[in-house]
Amino acid sequence: MTAVAPTSAAEKPVEPPPAQRKLRRNLTPWVLLLPGLLWLVVFFLVPILTSVSASVQQGDYDDGFKLTWHWANYADAITKYGTQYLHSGIYSVLCTVLCLALGYPVAYFIAFKGGRWKSLLMALVIVPSFTSFLIRTIAWKTILADNSPLVRTLSDLHVLKITTALGWTVGDHVLASPAAVVCGMVYNFLPFTILPLYTSLEKIDPRLHEAGHDLYCNTFTTWRRITLPLSMPGVIGGTLLTFIPAVGDYINAQLLGNPNTGVVGQKIEDLFLRNTQGYPVGSAISVVMMVGTLILVMSYIRKAGTEDLI
């Protein structure tokens, strides 16, 4: 609407002097950007700067924190929480891979075989997220409870013996184990993988598949040579939308994990909420996480070669 304003102004009989017109034309984009910029400054820039500044402070709640450029906080943040970084990394990568493996077939099916049920099927994917994230995670506590039918069945089938030997479950229970954490994460983030995958798969012209078959490709080769390359933006988008929140997620580890499945988010929460001196190191960990995630994501995008995504 507003973008049209200069031209409609130009058609008016009383025309402002050219200099004023130019000024207005230069200002318009900025005025339009203003709410967004303000939003970014207040809710992104200021918090980030606060967090960076807090990460080099010293002190405690009661005596106040002072900016002393205490870089040792970073040494603490990096050296003391190795296991937590490792867990965050493993769980989020695993979650992303599993989400892709589960989400791709679902998105493929809906996009190509869904027919007139497409919208309904997509709604089925999305609707569960209308329930609170927290409640859905707590529901998993019931699904995976020690005496739940699912866990009893797995135990009777001796599946848990194998997973326990691999270190993914503990004894004959699933709840409070790494497997439960990853299950919860996959469940919670799956829609974020499916949505972008579906959008990019849906755009693919089905005639390309026919062409592939005409050229003597079997279904798998058609998928590998045609569908997969064309759906790459969806794969990358889905990966990022899953990995970035997953790496910082701690609700799943908190509710479904045990003391040996700690992730970085829990450490930060502890330092912020239960430790009167915890702000600086907690902030330092947050900064390390942010920079780390940024580097990972940037190199991933470089490698995948779709700079146009960002």
Partner 1 sequence: MSNPSPSELARYANRTRAHSTAARLSRRSLLRGAAIGGLTLGGAGALTACGVSGHVVPAGAQEKGQAGKDYSATEKKVVFATWPSYIDVDPKNANRRPTLEAFEKQTGIQVQYLEVINDNNDWYTKVDPSLVRGIDTGYDLMVVSDYMVGKYRTYDYIQELDLSNIPNHSLMLPQALKDPTDPGRRFSVPWAYGYTTFAYNTNLVKQPITSISEVFTRPDLHGKVSLFSEMQDTVAIALLAQGYDPEHFTDAQFNKALEYVRRAKDNGQIRSFTGNDYLSDFQQGNTAVTMAYSGDVAQLGKPNLVTVDLPKEGMLSWSDNAVIPNFARHKTNAEKLLNYYLQPQVAAALDDSINYIPSVRGAVEALQQLDSTAAAVPLIVPTKQMQANARGFMALSIAQLNDYTSRFQQVTGQ
Q: DSSP alpha helices (H): ranges in the chain?
A: 5-11, 18-40, 46-54, 72-79, 82-108, 118-126, 133-143, 149-156, 159-165, 178-202, 206-214, 219-222, 228-248, 251-256, 264-273, 279-304
Judged by CB under 8 A, which of 25, 276, 298, 299 binds partner 1? 276
CB 297, min distance to partner 1, A: 25
Q: Which of residues 174-203 bind partner 1 (CB under 8 A)?
A: 175-176
Nearer to partner 1, 29 or 167 (CB): 167
As to burial, measured by CB atoms within 10 angstroms (0-12 exposed, 13-18 middle, 19+ buried), residue 122 is buried
Does 61 bind partner 1 (CB under 8 A)? Our answer is yes
Cβ atoms 56, 73 nearer than 8 A: yes
Cα dihedral sign for 254, 256, 258, 264? negative
Contact range with partner 1 by CB under 8 A, out of 17-25, 112-120, 165-173, 215-223: 165-173
Contact range with partner 1 by CB under 8 A, out of 22-30, 55-63, 206-214, 232-240: 55-63
Query: Which residues, 6 or more positions from 240, have their beta carbon under 8 angstroms from its beta carbon?
Result: 297, 300, 301, 309
Does 275 bind partner 1 (CB under 8 A)? Our answer is yes
Judged by CB under 8 A, which of 96, 200, 261, 283 binds partner 1? 261
Judged by CB under 8 A, which of 128, 171, 229, 305 binds partner 1? 171
Interaction site with partner 1 (CB under 8 A): 60-64, 80, 84, 141, 145-147, 170-171, 173, 175-176, 253-254, 257-263, 266-267, 270, 272-278
